[in-house]
Amino acid sequence: MDLGGKTAVITGSNSGIGLGIAQQFARAGADVVLNSFSNTDEDHALAADIARDFGVNAKYVQADMSKGDQCRQLIADAGRCDILVNNAGIQHVAALENFPPEKWDAIIAINLSSAFHTTAAALPAMREAGWGRVVNIASAHGLTASPFKSAYIAAKHGIIGLTKTTALETATDPITANAICPGYVLTPLVESQIPDTMKEYDMSREDVIKNVMLKRQPSKEFATVEQMGGTAAFLCSEFADQITGTAVSVDGGWTAL
């Protein structure tokens, strides 16, 4: 897949799924704009590494995805946005009656409202350029539910609705909008949780992964950040020109249950 000449803006991309997508896009020849709320030397070094490793232009732009004005400014500061990947997200787990209102507000802002702001800011330039791709990172929890994750699940269901609306509003333009719905993905954050979970359940690493972490994932295997990147790159390729408004599950069969 050749994405040469395109610029991809990926929110929440200084680690995990977002960074994996950025690296896959760069491998396909796209220039990339990394983003997170921090602004460290390490953040900028990630962009420099991508530029060096893949021979593309890459930069890091700090923006807080909980703030609508900064979401829109990210698109302006990117300079160009042919491909927009809305990936930024946070999580909090609590029963509804105990769910902190400030956590609800933050999750809805970062996981859902940020995608509205960035998409609204990016679409006019995509229309002017005559080409665009919007890829929203939803979740298996955008298609199903679990207890104690009310804000996350509401936001991810909302992301899929936003994706469909974006697709309908751009259906006669050479612009597509799709959502990717990962199950459990082996990110550095998930990897770091395995030892504590082993201690909590007094289980081996293999048993914790298969019987606790991947209990609802029939394949009993994590998806990888490379697979997320490859799926996103496919949705931005010419082979996916007529794929729009869809939710693509990469969840080891979770939502087939």
Buried b (16+ CB within 10 A) or exposed e, 72-84: bbbbeebebbbbb
Written as one letter, the residue type at 2 is D
Report the distance separating Cα 254 and Cα 114, nearest Å. 27
Other C-beta atoms lying within 10 Å of the C-beta of residue 241? 11
Q: Which of the residues are catalytic? A: 152
Q: Which two tokens stand for residue 98?
A: 């105990």
Question: Cα–Cα distance between 86 and 133 in angstroms, integer?
Answer: 11
